Each structure stands twice: as C-alpha cells, then as structure tokens.
Amino acid sequence: MTGSASAPSRAGRFYRAVWRWHFLVGVLVLPFLFLLAFSGLLMLLSKPLDTALNQSLQTVEAGADPLPASVLLQTVEQQYPHAAVKLYLPPQGADQSARFSLQPHFHAGHGGHHAPATVVYLNPYTGELLGDHDPAASLYARIKEFHGSLFLGDLGDALIEIAAGLAVLMIITGLYLAWPKGGLRVLMPSRSLRNREDWRGWHLSIGWLIALPLLFFLISGLAWTNIWGGQLVQPWGSLPGTGFDASKGTPTVVQEHASMNEAGLHRVPWAVEQTPMPQSTPGNHPLRLDAVVSEARSQGFGNFRVHFPQQDSGVWTVSATTIAGDLTNPGDERILHLDQSTGQVLQDIRFADYPAMGKAMAASIPFHQGDLGLWNWLLNLLLVTLILALTLTGGLLWWKRQSRRAPPRSEPAPARTVAAIMLVIAVAFPLSAAALLAIILVDALLSMRKADPTTP
C-alpha cells in the first residue's frame, strides 16, 4: 500500500515541477512569441498588398517581340549613371515588366552585400522606363525586418534567438503537461469560456494542434539567427568550398554566395550563402548580357535572374531559387556560374548537390515564408492564427491566476531535476541555455532567501 501511494506522489511532485518551469519559461517567451506570430501574419498579408500597390510597375500590355536585354540595359545605364547594375530579372510572363536591380557604385566592387538597392522597371517591348522603388522600403520588407530583429539589430536578433530556443522547451514541457490521461477528450474543450478551467481546456487543445507546426517554425526561423544559425548550423549545412572543380577558374576564391544578397533581400539559398564563388579568367572581351540570357535559356532555365560580375574577376551567375521567388519547387533550384570572358561554365549547383541539412532548409524556409504557392500561403495563415490563439489563451491563464506574480510552488528536488533536464536540452541552443542558466540561478537564490528564516 505504501509503495502504491508513494508512486503517484512522486509523479505528482514531478508534474508540479514541470508545470512550474513551463510557467516560468512561458512568462518570458509569450510576449516574443506573440510578436513573432503577429508580424508573421502581417508579412503574409502584406505580400499580395505590395503586389497590388506596385501593379503599375510590374505589368505591361503584352506585345509581339521584346527588345534585347542589352537594349534595356543601355536605357538603365543612361538614366542611372551613378549606379551599378547588379541584377537583371527577365519578364516572367508576356504581360510582365523587365527589372534591373541597381546599387551605388561604391558598393559594386565589394559585391554589394546588404547594400541598399533600387529596382528599376521597364516595358520589355518599348523600353519605356516605368519607374523604380527601394525593395527594402516595402511594407513586407519593413515587417520582415521587425520579425527578424525587432528593429534592434544584433540585440534584437539575440533576444529572438533566446526566446525561440526557450519556446522549444516550452513546447516540450507543455506536451508533457497536456498528455491526455483521460483519452482524447483534451482535443474537445468546453464550448463555454466562463472560468479559468474552460480557458485552460482551450489552451491545451490549441497546444496539441499547433505544437509540431510551431516547433517547425521555431527551428526553421532559428536558422537565420546570428549565433545558432549563422555560426553553428549554417556552416555544417552549407556546400563545402572544395566541392567543385576550381581548376577551371583562378585558384583564389575571395567571395561567398552571400554577396549576391541585398539589403533585406535574400537572393540565394541558405545552404549556399557561405559557399565560396569561383572567379573568372582575366580577359579583354567580357560576355554581353544577351549572351548570358541566351545561355540560360539553352541550359533549360525558365524563370531566372542574372547576377552581374561585381569584381574584375567576378562571374556571371544565373539563378533560379525558391527564396528569391523564381520557383515554387525547391527541388528545381539551380545556380549556374559562367566565366565573364569566355562564357565557360565554372559551377553548376543544383538541389541534389546540397547536403542533407541544406536540402531540409531549402524546403523548410520557403514553406516558413509561405512561398510554395497559394496552398502554402493559406495554410500559414491558419497556423499563425492558431499560434496567436495559443499565446493569447496562455496570457489569459496567467492573468486569471490569483497569484500572478509568483510561479507555482513545487518541492525543491523535483524542481531541480526538471531544471537540469531542461538545461541539458537547451544546450542545443547556446544563447537560450545561457538565459535558462541565469533563470535557474536567480530562482535558486530566491528560494534560498525564502527558506532562510533569518532573512529580513
């Protein structure tokens, strides 16, 4: 009898300890999770809005024969003499405009990585200049900047990384607490919202529905953070710099594919950003844009973009990627590098060349952003709405709790055990582990202070 009575008691103490740490982490994470979900919702809604606002720049009346790309390029160079052309986007349909991306001359020699850009729109049939705009100043780009850094730069990036890593722990503890001990009734909450228990039922039900999608959003979003993503995971998931034959070009590689990105705009897949680019053989007769476009079409490219050489030894690059909006199928991604003088193919990078982690991220990041088609956009709208509901019900549970200022009490031994388990899991996310360790130390000091009868 004693053994059977003590086992539930131990289980109950462990349950209360898990609940306590779920509460502590949740209080810290929910505000960030709400901001990320809400800004993610606004990003999804702003995409079609930006398209509608720029309709006059993006669409033209379909004609018979479009002008050569080199003729359009001459118009751009004449109208923008103080800028360097970095990118050409051929029309993606008969009624679509041609686009060039420009950057100030002083950025061109360094690849223009994260430099401000101006996109110029032209009628491909008449050569008429339709207008220009800064893509980093669009509604979508501004919301995306907040989504990634809270407008706080590296500090905001670090705060989001900490919150996302702790949110993973919140999901794990939440699933443990919500495990259906009485069958699947947890998925069918009360229809009323009269008291705290009704709200708790809805919180548990929504948590079960959204746990795995939320975990996916957190992990794929963490891939863009500075520490966990940029310094730990991305190098491991990137193409090796020696994975291609560099003997066709010069042996010294000084640029990475990230140089193809612009301020607020990702042009190349996550798996390729840190991979070195080849270099061209010096020559006196550089390849013309028309020849590069012709080569791209002969190579089987459909929707694509052409990146101009940015250095004396730079290369022409033809790319078609999901993250840039050229494709909706990550398996079709391709990046082709051509010698700027001879047109020789120096590198031909395809989805099959990505390492396993790179393939996973090439598929998950466009899904995270809702870029894989209308179905993906609609599904993400539903998922972020559920995440918002989860954060709101969690916040209401905290608000309706009578003793809001203090976490739930639990016995020291189980609490320490759960804290140790969470810390071990959090080691996968260094910044989050450091934050959790600080929380554990503060909690231990406060507990000791309360336990000491001599403390004033």
Highest-confidence segment of 19-28, 254-263, 326-335: 326-335
Closest CA to 426 of 29, 130, 69, 83: 29
- pLDDT tens-digit readout, 152-175: 999 999 999 999 999 999 999 998
pTM: 0.85
Q: Give, in order, the Cα–Cα distances in Å from 162 to each of 28, 225, 227, 389.
A: 10, 10, 10, 22
User: What is the crossing angle of helices 69-79 and 289-298, to 10°?
Assistant: 140
Neighbours of 11 (CB within 10 A): 11
- pLDDT tens-digit readout, 224-233: 898 988 888 8
| Average confidence (pLDDT) over 242-269 | 64
Q: Is residue 220 pLDDT above 50, yes or no?
A: yes
Answer yes or no: are the C-beta atoms of 263 and 117 closer than 8 Å: yes
Instruction: Spell out the domain ranges in the chain.
Output: 2-47+143-226+375-451, 61-124+243-354
- pLDDT tens-digit readout, 42-66: 999 998 998 888 899 999 999 889 9
Neighbours of 321 (CB within 10 A): 24
Label residue 413 by pLDDT band (50, 70, 90): low
